[in-house]
Chains A and B, each alone.
Chain A
C-alpha cells in the first residue's frame, strides 16, 4: 500500500461529483426559501411557504400519499412475484440458468421509454389487456387502466421486478444449503424449513431489494408521466411541472429536497438496520 498518489487518482471523479452533483443539489436549499412571484420571478423575500404547504395543503398531501402508496405496493408486488423466481434461479443446476438470468436482465437494459410505451399499448382503452378481458367475457365495457393507480402499479411492478429478482438471487445464493438440509433431516417439513430457515436467512436481501425498489419507484419520472399524464401526479412529475411548466423553481426546489430527504433517510435507516441484524446474527 502506498500513500500519496491515491489523492491524485481520486481527484477527477471527486471534482466532478462535488461540482456537478453535491454543490448543485445543496444550492437548491437557498432557492427553496425564496418567494416566487409569477411574471416577476424569484424575489429576495424569505419564506417557508413552499415547505408548509407541502405538509399541510391537501393537494400536496394527496400527491405525497399517492407516491408513498405506489412505492409500498410496487415493492410488495415485486417481492411476492420475484421471490420464487430468485429462489429458482439461485438453486437450479439447470444449464439454462445463465440465459434465464439474461432474460430477466434484458428488460432492465432496454430503454425505459420503450418499456413504458409497451404498457401504453397494453393498457389503453382498446389495448391488448382490455381486448383479452372482453374476449374472456370478464368485462362488458373497457376498464380504465391509464391515468390511474392500477395502471401505474402494473407498469412499475414490471419495470422494477428485475431489480428485486437480482438482489434476491444474490441473497438466496449466499444461504448454505446445509442449514436447510439439517432442518429436513431433523424432521421439518419443506414448508416449515422454508418459513423458519430459508426465508429468515434471506431477510437482508429482502430488506435491500425492498429499499431499492421503493426508492426507485418514488423517484421515477418517465413511467408516471407517460402513464399518469399531467393530471395524475406523483412527487417527481410535480417537480417536473414546477420547473418546466410553472417555472416556480423555489417550490420545485422544496419538493425536490423533500423527495431527496425521504430517499436518503430510507437508505440511511436500512443501512443501520442491516448492520444491526448483521451484528446480532
Chain B
C-alpha cells in the first residue's frame, strides 16, 4: 500500500500548496499595511500602525464605510423581505410558471454585474432616480435576492410542511403559523442568506460604481478609485481591517449556523 500512502501525501501537499496560494494575497496585504515607508512595499520596512490611524482619521474613508454599512443593511432587509416570501411561495404554494420564476430570481447570480450597472445607469436617468439612494438600494436588492432565495429554498425543502399544517389545524392563522413555526425552523437558512446578501452588497463595485451620486460613496468603490489613483500603505491598512473583520465574521458564522453547509 506504499503507492496509496504516497498518493495520500502528494494530495495533502497539493491541498496545502493551494490553500497557501489562496492566502498569499491576503498575507501580503496585511504585511504591506505595517510598513513605515510612504510607498507600498513587501516585506514591510520597519513596523508601524500609522497607516491605520491615517485611514480612521480620513473623513472620506469614514463616509464610505458609513455609506456601505447603510446600503448593505437596507439591501439585506429588502432582499430578506422579498426573498423569504418568494421562497415560501415557490416551495409551499402551487404557483403557475414556478420554474420560470425560480430562474428569474436566480438570474442575477450569473448575469454580468457590469451590464446590470450600465442598464440601471440609463434606466434611472430616464425615471429620475439617478444618483438617488432609493435607486442604489433597489439595484442592491436585485443582486442580493438570489442568495436569500437559494439559502432559504434549500432549508425550506428540508422542513416537513405538516408541522405548519398542524399549527393551522390547532387554530393558528396563516401568518401566526409561519412566524411561530416555520420561521424558527428555517432560521439557519435565513441567517446564511442574510449574511451572503450583506457581504455581496458590501462587496459590490460593478453595479455601485455606475449609480453613485454626488456625495455618495461605498467603501469598495472608494478603495477601487484610490488604487486607480495610486497605491500606498493606507489602502493596505483599510484592506487589512476588512480582512480581519471578514475572518472574524466567518468564524462566528461557522460556529453559529455551520456556515460551510450553505456554500
Residues of A at the B interface (CB closer than 8 Å) are 1-7, 9-10, 12-14, 16-17, 19-25, 27-28, 31, 81-82, 84-85, 87-89, 98, 100-122, 124, 126-128, 158, 161-162, 166, 190, 212, 215-216, 218-219, 221-222, 225-226, 236, 239-240, 243-244, 249, 252-253, 256-257, 259-260, 263, 267
Contacts and interface: CB of A to CB of B under 8 A. Distances in A.
B26 A24 contact: no
Contact of A118 (B25, B203, B249): B25
Main SS at interface, chain B: helix
B121 A127 contact: no
Interface string B88-121: 1110111100000100110110111111101111
A17 B260 contact: no
Contacts of A81: 18, 21
Contacts of A117: 25, 29, 223, 227, 231, 235-236, 239
Interface in B174-229: 174, 199, 202-203, 205-206, 209-210, 219-220, 223-224, 227-228
B82 interface: yes
18 contacts: A4-B93, A10-B89, A14-B101, A17-B108, A21-B142, A28-B118, A85-B18, A101-B263, A110-B243, A110-B246, A111-B223, A121-B32, A162-B22, A190-B3, A212-B110, A221-B206, A240-B209, A256-B115
Given A102-B259, A219-B112, A13 B42 contact: no
A62 to B, nearest CB: 19
Main SS at interface, chain A: helix
Interface string B117-129: 0111111001000
B174 to A, nearest CB: 7
B32 A103 contact: no
Contacts of A84: 11, 14-15, 18
B89 A239 contact: no
Contacts of B202: 111
Question: What are the 4 closest A-B residue pairs judged by CB atoms, nearest first?
Answer: A118-B25, A6-B93, A219-B112, A24-B123
B142 A16 contact: yes
Contacts of B123: 20, 23-24, 27
Contact of B21 (A6, A102, A158): A158
Contact of B26 (A4, A23, A110): A110
B122 A27 contact: yes
B122 A249 contact: yes
Nearest to B68: A111
A121 B25 contact: yes
A243 B94 contact: no
Nearest to B81: A12
Contacts of A31: 122
A216 B3 CA distance: 38
A263 B89 contact: no
Nearest to A107: B22
Interface residues of B, number: 88
B110 A221 contact: no
A89 B11 CA distance: 10
A239 B235 CA distance: 26
B206 A109 contact: no
A115 B122 CA distance: 30
A121 B254 contact: no
A179 B23 CA distance: 36
A13 B243 contact: no
B236 A113 contact: no
A5 B93 contact: yes
Contacts of A116: 227
A229 to B, nearest CB: 9
A20 B86 CA distance: 17
B203 A121 contact: no
B63 interface: no
B175 to A, nearest CB: 10
Contact of B227 (A4, A28, A221, A226): A226
